[in-house]
Structure 1
Amino acid sequence: MDNALNLQRLDTFFLLKRGHDLPAQNRKEGKYPVISSSGITGWHNEWKARGPDVVTGRYGTLGKVFYEKSDFWPLNTTLYVYDFKDSYPKFVYYFLKALNFDHLSSAAAVPGLDRNVLHSLKVDFPPLRIQKKIANILSAYDELIDNNNQRINLLEQMAEEIYKEWFVRLRFPGHEQTRIVDGVPEGWEIVRIKNAFDIIGGGTPSTKEKSYWENGTVNWVTPTDITGAPGLFISEVANKITESGLSGSSAKLFPPYSVMMTSRATIGAIGINTQPACTNQGFITCLPNRHFPYTYIASWLKINRPLIDNFATGATFKEIAKTVFKRLKIPKPISPISEKYHKQVEPLYEEINILLQKNKILKQTRDLLLPRLMSGKLSVDHLLAPDN
């Protein structure tokens, strides 16, 4: 809060404590989450802090804040609240999320956060009634986002289950009247990927050439865009390149609803672009066709991720080469079955995309409200919780 008349030290409102050592060899499987500066990293049979509580990183990863409802073990890379005094825990969580940790960290090679520096900050907390109202409004956004994420996970599971039912268990429509010949339904084939659909790689334009990057309009996808995405569909990326960057590199533009698969280090993570895009060289991108629609390719890749990972090689980091990927085998059903599958599953994928877009708007609104509510610039008196 920015009313200078009410500024007090942060430790007037709550107290932070450093987390506790727990070497990996001393961990015993249990029900209590082990939380590091980057989040839950394992489980243990003992706890050190009672939930609900608030945790943030003090070393390594700074700026992430976690609200833990149950008892847990905070590692020594974290700070956790051990005394909320008269403050509302969920408000403390959002307060810390609104803090700018960059100017509080040390200048060491690995960022660090001193709890004494945090404790000495001059801040203004509103009355408990207002704390609860602010926290409840922001929590309503998070709950809607969480509910949508649960629906997204359920829809993805439904799509995978239909794939398994049709193409693994072979209980596709009309299977009762279909003969099995050499282990596959009559009319089907087992083909190599090189004979199933086209695949392309990616590239990185020279970073020394500013004209390849400045005011770029072409989505250039990196593995981080996939692994950090909230769902299958990729509509936004961290970097864009120019048309000259595209033509001046080995990056190749591909159409919407292609299936991008990470092929280095993290093997087999997938994303589906909603706009024309290209990737860096850490991808194999599959181009759908009539026999192999994007819904089929995406489900096959997800289900066969362990198989794909087994074919990856490399000393420094694992990678699956395009030549190796092309030799993998995939079922090719007759066209009517492929088309029926796509027709049945595509609405699930469309609903996933709609929910992702809803979450994007909810997150943007929440992130706009957060600093204004915390600073007192926005009154909560007439502010309503969101409606999905």
Structure 2
Amino acid sequence: MTNEWRTVKLGDFLTLQRGFDLPKHTRAEGRIPVVSSSGISGTHNEAKVQPPGVVTGRYGTIGQVYFLRQPFWPLNTTLWVKDFKGNDEHFCYYLLQTVDYFSCSDKAAVPGVNRNHLHELAIAVPPITEQRAIAQVLGTLDDKIECNRQMNRSLEDIVRALFKSWFIDFDPVIDNALAAGNQIPDELADRAALRQQVAEESAKPLPDELRALFPAEFICTDSMGASGAATAGRWIPKGWEVAPLSALARLNPHSWTTKNAPKRIQYIDLANTKNGRITEVVEYSFDTAPSRARRILYSGDTVFGTVRPGNRSFAYIHEEGLTGSTGFAVLQPLREAYREFVYLATTRDEMVDLFAHLADGAAYPAVRAEVIIEQVHAMPPTQIIEAFHHLVAAVTVSIGQRSAQNTKLSALRDTLLPQLLSGELRVPVAAPQTVGNRSLIDTSRAGGLFQ
């Protein structure tokens, strides 16, 4: 390390401040992010801190650091940077990711960090020009990762909207019924009025070859049960069936045993699977892996966490070679063309809410895997599911490719971070001194489809 770097106390480099109390019952509707030690935990109509902001956990989740580009309210479980003292804000964000928080923990059952102890930590820091250069290098990687995530979220919105239009709202059937002059059930009258408006603005909402796959009439059924509350209720398209997902997928078909297990596994758990994204894959030797690391996963599988299903621990599996927790219900499509339908039918918001409602157990609420795969849906003929697959399969692949790229970019960033922040690896100070716009916190509820 050259003499350009200096060793100072963290408290002399920046000032950390405890966040503010804001019980949930006192929060008002608004768009101001409320930040807890685990990230965005809600919204409010008032901000306590103006951007740019850097927040880390004080109590509960320790070691996570968040950068905010909008006004926000940091909760009292956090510490936020009150004064950057003339240093680069993005560099401070990355610097705080390298701090040994647990050396300043009070060692209680629920971890907590002493702010005064943090301020006394010795850190090595470069001049402001090199701070900006380091932030630019790391920020460029984060920008690309976030760009990929945003693209995947946008594609997810499109695919989910198409799924809802075809298989929940039955728009193509309504269009055909309107064109044929057939009667529309009362439950679908509002949707029919909307589709009539679409027809007047666009003569062909779907290409003729696709529209011909759908009927022009509805039939009444009492078989939808709880699933019908989120669709047309008692009405399904003529020629469709009410059937469980077990008609399209098998449940937990493959598991490791001591006889067939590999020496090493790539493991995903409910904790690192959220809203369609696998946030971390952990490698273990099979002998030292958690006892629940038993489900063999294949590309195209859907995994859905059965414990606390409202936590939305689900994902679409893009790659071979992963092992999942026995806490997942693994739905393996019987045919490649069923992959997207199985995933989307299982993970739409109404189904997640239903599974959360059906979960048993006060302290450890869980839904049986059989309940997930046996939940009934309005099931179209195979050729319609195949047509849907052909439309979205390329999107599925592209989302998987961006997710794989993000895994590599994140690994590169995590490798560079400690080397750059320690001065072991130097960057030219002539690098651009501004960091592009980026959001390092995802504030949306919906997760990335297949991400």
TM-score category by the smaller chain? Answer: 0.7 to 0.9
User: What residue number does 2:116 align with?
Assistant: 116
- In the alignment, does 2:408 pair up with 1:361? yes
1:257 alignment partner AA: G
**Paired position in structure 2 for 1:96:** 96
Shift in Å, 1:356: 0.5
When residues 6 and 60 of structure 1 are mapped into structure 2, their CA distance, relative to the original with a 3 A threshold, is same
Aligned positions of 1:39-188 closer than 5 A: 39-170=39-170, 171=172, 173-175=210-212, 178-182=215-219, 183-188=235-240
For residues 272-324 of structure 1, what are the alpha-carbon distances to aligned partners after superposition, in whole Å with 9 as ceiling and x for unaligned?
33225554332222121238611110111122323333333333333222443
1:150-209 CA distances to partner (integer Å, 9 max, x unpaired)?
10111111111221222223317124873425244444322133444322279898xxxx
Q: Deviations over 1:108-138 (max 9, x none)?
A: 3332222222222223322212211211221
Aligned to 1:37: 37
Specify the code of the residue in structure 1 equivalent to 2:83: D
Deviates more, 1:58-67 or 1:41-50: 41-50
Deviates more, 1:212-221 or 1:357-366: 212-221
CA distance in 2, matches of 1:354, 1:133: 29
Amino acid of the structure 2 residue aligned with 1:372: Q
1:256 matched residue in structure 2: 299
Q: 1:63, CA displacement in angstroms?
A: 0.8
1:335 is displaced (CA, Å) by 2.3
Question: What TM-score results when the alignment is normalised by the length of structure 2?
Answer: 0.73
Question: What residue in structure 2 maps to residue 377 of structure 1?
Answer: 424
Using the alignment, how far apart are the partners of 1:44 and 1:321 within structure 2?
36
Q: Which residue of 1 aligns with 2:386?
A: 339
Bigger relative CO (Cα 8 Å, ≥ 6 apart): 2
Match of 2:195 in 1: none
**Equivalence for 1:295:** 340
Relative distance call for 1:212 and 1:120 in structure 2 (3 A) is farther
Query: 1:286 maps to what in 2?
Result: 331
- C-alpha displacement at 1:375, in angstroms? 1.3
Deviations 1:329-387 (A, max 9, x none): 1233222222221111111110111111111121111112211111112221189799x
Alignment correspondent of 1:208: none
Alpha-carbon distance change, 160 to 116 in structure 1, aligned in 2, over 3 angstroms: same
Q: How does 1:230-241 map to 2 (within 5 A)?
A: 231-232=276-277, 237-238=281-282, 240=284
Moved more, 301-310 or 53-62: 301-310
**Unmatched tracts of structure 2, length 5 or more:** 173-205, 220-234, 436-451
Q: How does 1:193-272 map to 2 (within 5 A)?
A: 193-200=245-252, 216-227=263-274, 231-232=276-277, 237-238=281-282, 240=284, 242=286, 251=294, 253-267=296-310, 269-272=313-316
- The unaligned stretches of length 5 or more in structure 1 are 206-210
Range moving further from structure 2, 16-25 or 63-72: 16-25
CA–CA separation in structure 1 for the residues paired with 2:94 and 2:284: 32
- State the identity as a percent: 30
- Out of 175, 192, 203, the position equivalent to 2:244 is 192
Normalized against structure 1, the TM-score is what? Answer: 0.84
Work out the CA distance in 2 between the residues paired with 1:190 and 1:57: 48
Shift of 1:216: 3.8
